[in-house]
Each structure stands twice: as C-alpha cells, then as structure tokens.
Amino acid sequence: MRKHHWALASEMEESEINLTPMLDVVFIMLIFFIVTASFIKEAGIDVNRPDAPISNEPVENTNILIRINANDEIWIDRRMIDPRAVRANIERLHAENPSGSVVIQPNKRSTNKMLVTIMDAARLAGVYNISIADDNS
C-alpha cells in the first residue's frame, strides 16, 4: 500500500528533535550562574605587607645572621660558635646595632632543637625581632 503524502509529512515532523526548549534551559542556567558567580566571595586573608625601608646601610650591618648547618653547627659572622656562647654573641652584635634583628638560616637537615635554642638565646639577649630564612645551600 502506498502511504499518503500527509502521512509522510506527519512522520517526518515526529522524527525531528526540537532543540528550542533545551537551548532556553541552557541560556537560563548560563544567566543564573553568571549572576550568582559575582556574589561569591573567595576564601582567604588580606595581607598588608609593609614597604621595604630605603636605607644606605648594607643589609649585613643591620641584621644578625646566624646559620645552622646540617651538623647543627652554629655560624655567626663566618665563625663557628659554641651553642653556649650564642647569647653573648647576639648581645654583643645587638649592642653594636640596636635596630638590627636576628635572622636564622637553618639547614634542612638541622634539628629543630638547635633552632629553638638559638631563638631562646636571642630572646634572652633582648632581641625579639627574630626571622627564619631559607638556607639556599
């Protein structure tokens, strides 16, 4: 039997997929996400870093640099220092430059005990501005 022309036309209409409602939903979702994204506040903290002071003095003269090597040996001014003499050396260097701070450079293989010992010695010497720097060696 031969199908009528109107029957073929109705079958073709039924086989087509209408994408218009799907596109409407996509655009509505897009608008929703754009609008809500502007109200989301990222988690974090604001850091106010101070400006670096401009000085004619070399950096070596303003800070007391203490290095701890991998064997827990303490070096101040390119001299190996006994752990019991750290406080006296910090007091002497701090008396020469009262505005200086203590910068400790521990090696990655040094112990935390030695780091805390030096920090305690610096506090006992009257220096409370203590920094820990990365040892590049």
| Separation between Cα atoms, residue 6 and residue 35, nearest integer Å | 47
* Tens-digit pLDDT profile for residues 25-67: 999 999 988 887 766 666 777 767 777 666 555 544 578 899 9
What pLDDT, on the 0 to 100 scale, is given for residue 99?
Answer: 84
What pLDDT, on the 0 to 100 scale, is given for residue 118?
Answer: 92
User: Does the pLDDT of residue 2 top 70, yes or no?
Assistant: no
- The structure tokens listed for 128 are 């409370």
Sign of CA dihedral 40, 42, 47, 51: negative
Nearest one of 113, 121, 117 to 92, comparing CA atoms: 121
What pLDDT, on the 0 to 100 scale, is given for residue 100?
Answer: 84
pTM (2 d.p.): 0.53
Name the residue with tokens 């910068």.
Answer: 103
* Tens-digit pLDDT profile for residues 103-137: 999 988 888 899 999 999 999 998 888 888 876 65
| Separation between Cα atoms, residue 132 and residue 65, nearest integer Å | 10
- The structure tokens listed for 33 are 């996400």
Nearest one of 65, 66, 71, 67 to 110, comparing CA atoms: 71
Provide the Cα torsion 119, 120, 122, 123; round to 10°: 120
Considering only residues 122 and 6, tell me which one the structure prediction assigns the higher pLDDT: 122
- The structure tokens listed for 56 are 């004619």
What pLDDT, on the 0 to 100 scale, is given for residue 29?
Answer: 92
User: Does the pLDDT of residue 98 top 80, yes or no?
Assistant: yes
